[in-house]
A = this chain, B = another copy of it.
Amino acid sequence: MAYELYYWDGLQGRGEFVRLALEEAQAPYVDVARGAKKNGLGTDALLAALDTEAPYPPYAPPFLKDGDLTIAQTANILFYLGPKLELAPRDEGLRYVANGLQLTIADLVTEAHDTHHPIASGLYYEEQKAEAKARATDFIDNRIPKFMGYFERVLAQNPHGPKHLVGGALTYVDLSLFQIVEGLRYAFPKATKHFADHYPHCVALHDAVETRPHIAAYLASPRRIPFNETGIFRHYPELDKAKR
């Protein structure tokens, strides 16, 4: 049976980390909110699944249904799917290492979101522009270097070599780091201009993921929603700045 992915239509957002894994593995899945209403899909189906009186409702998208099981939270979905999609380390201990890295990626994603919404996610960006500029400046000066420097170090210290974050083969964490590099470059083209100099292993990993046949086909397909200003990574030129 196909996996059912529930995520908002019209943006990559956190759902994209799950999509990349499903696409790389060529796993059958339904992107529920993007389906047709006449087939029982669409945003109404997503809202109904959130509003359920069933046990253990999810807090927010993304969530995944696999038969009777509903799994919420991006990193949790990937932890669950990883072994099934053969995108997790075989060693059980390393699966927890992968999950720890994925949760650090999740922290970076939250901070990227908060560059344009530092005060309230329920207010418009335009209502918190001054605060967004201050937070984005700190993000570029301090937080991106801390996170990216960390991932670069993890790659450099991987005993299997710097091509993967965990172990000697592709995992979902590598796919997520690709998405981080893509997203940061989209949102902050000036700040990320010298990424290849500062984080060569991360950029090499990004480039290797981008050219994998299933990923390349996905990125060229209409299933890949373009980055836009409703997602996590938003390009507001006034928040960007050059970084040596």
Q: Is A236 an interface residue (CB 8 A)?
A: no
Contacting residue for A59 out of B110, B150, B158, B159, CB 8 A: B150
A residues 43-68 in Cβ contact with B at 8 Å? 53-60, 63, 68
Query: In the bound complex, how far is the Cα of B68 from the Cα of A122, in angstroms?
Result: 44
Q: Tell me how many residues of A have a C-beta within 8 Å of chain B.
A: 49
Query: In the bound complex, how far is the Cα of B175 from the Cα of A43, in angstroms?
Result: 35
Contacting residue for A56 out of B53, B79, B110, B157, CB 8 A: B157
Q: Is A76 an interface residue (CB 8 A)?
A: yes
* Smallest Cβ-Cβ distance to A138: which chain B residue: B120
Q: Is A15 an interface residue (CB 8 A)?
A: no
Complex interface: chain B residues within 8 A of A60 (CB): 104
Q: Contact: A157 with B54, CB < 8 Å? A: yes
Query: In the bound complex, how far is the Cα of B72 from the Cα of A155, in angstroms?
Result: 16
Q: Is A142 an interface residue (CB 8 A)?
A: yes
From A22-30, A92-100, A177-185, A220-228, the one touching the partner chain is: A92-100
A residues 61-93 in Cβ contact with B at 8 Å? 63, 68-73, 75-76, 79-80, 93
Q: Contact: B56 with A103, CB < 8 Å? A: no
User: What are 30 inter-chain pairs, A to B, with CB distance below 8 A?
Assistant: A53-B157, A54-B157, A55-B157, A55-B159, A56-B94, A56-B154, A56-B158, A57-B154, A58-B100, A59-B107, A59-B150, A60-B104, A63-B100, A70-B97, A71-B96, A71-B97, A72-B100, A73-B103, A76-B96, A76-B100, A79-B79, A79-B99, A103-B103, A110-B110, A114-B114, A118-B119, A119-B138, A120-B135, A120-B138, A123-B138
